[in-house]
């Protein structure tokens, strides 16, 4: 079978990542794949923030500040928030800053960023790294959005954690019949 199809059919999200992150040349290839995502009217509504090293800890401070924005926080919850970015040696924050266009609604532009993330994840897997796409309350936080310079219309589409998988989860093979049908009108 085709190697790309085989790669996609066997890709899994890896929640436990460590080791090394992709090097500069590998990262360039990953990001280049993101830029090939479908993009109606070529609006390029995306931006990708690559975070590594000490910047991961600084993002943890932003997450802690965001968690505290709604009032006091237990010490263990605060520590958890600070450690969130440290789940992998590299974090790519994919954001969408919608471009005003009468033919392309913001929702379609967000989907384009989602497609770019999927392209990145396939490229990451092809290079023998693992990844997981997360969102959650930090993606909705105004404090976190501000840290990435987003406008009020902008959104964080995903936090893509990248590294070497500690353990690759078992592949669950879905039953295709549960997910498709032939529509005949």
Q: Would residue 74 count as lying in a domain? A: no
Q: Would residue 122 count as lying in a domain? A: yes
Q: Would residue 99 count as lying in a domain? A: yes
Tell me which residue of 116, 117, 118, 91 sits closest to 8, measured CA to CA.
Answer: 118
> What range does the domain containing 27 cover?
14-52+85-166
What pLDDT digit, counting tens, does each position of 41-78 carry?
Answer: 999 999 999 999 999 999 999 999 999 997 777 889 99
Q: Would residue 76 count as lying in a domain? A: no
Q: Would residue 102 count as lying in a domain? A: yes
Widest Cα–Cα separation across the chain: 57
Is residue 94 scored above 80 in pLDDT?
yes
Helix %, strand %, coil % for the chain, to 5?
A: 45, 15, 35
Position with higher pLDDT, 95 vs 170 = 95
pLDDT band for position 124 (50/70/90)? very high
pLDDT at 54: 98
Question: Domain of 100: which CATH number?
Answer: 3.40.109.10
Q: Would residue 171 count as lying in a domain? A: no
* Helical ranges in 43-155 per DSSP H: 54-68, 75-83, 106-126, 137-140, 142-147
pTM for the complete prediction?
0.95
pLDDT at 80: 95
- Total domain count, the chain: 1
Is residue 107 scored above 80 in pLDDT?
yes
pLDDT band for position 144 (50/70/90)? very high
Q: Would residue 182 count as lying in a domain? A: no
Q: Would residue 107 count as lying in a domain? A: yes
């Amino acid at each position: 079978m085709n190697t790309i199809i085989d790669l996609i059919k066997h890709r899994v999200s890896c929640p436990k990542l460590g080791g090394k992150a992709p090097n500069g040349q590998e990262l360039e290839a990953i990001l280049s794949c993101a830029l090939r995502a479908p993009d109606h009217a070529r609006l390029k509504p995306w931006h990708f923030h690559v975070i590594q090293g000490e910047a991961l800890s600084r993002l943890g401070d932003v997450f802690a500040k965001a968690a505290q924005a709604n009032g006091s926080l237990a010490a263990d919850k605060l520590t958890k928030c600070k450690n969130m970015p440290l789940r992998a040696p590299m974090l790519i924050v994919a954001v969408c800053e919608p471009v005003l266009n009468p033919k392309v609604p913001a929702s379609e532009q967000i989907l384009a960023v989602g497609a770019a993330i999927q392209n990145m994840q396939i490229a990451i897997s092809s290079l023998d790294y693992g990844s997981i796409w997360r969102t959650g309350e930090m993606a909705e936080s105004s404090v976190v959005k501000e840290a990435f310079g987003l406008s009020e219309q902008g959104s964080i589409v995903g936090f893509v954690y990248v590294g070497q998988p500690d353990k690759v989860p078992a592949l669950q093979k879905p039953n295709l019949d549960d997910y498709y049908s032939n529509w005949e009108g």
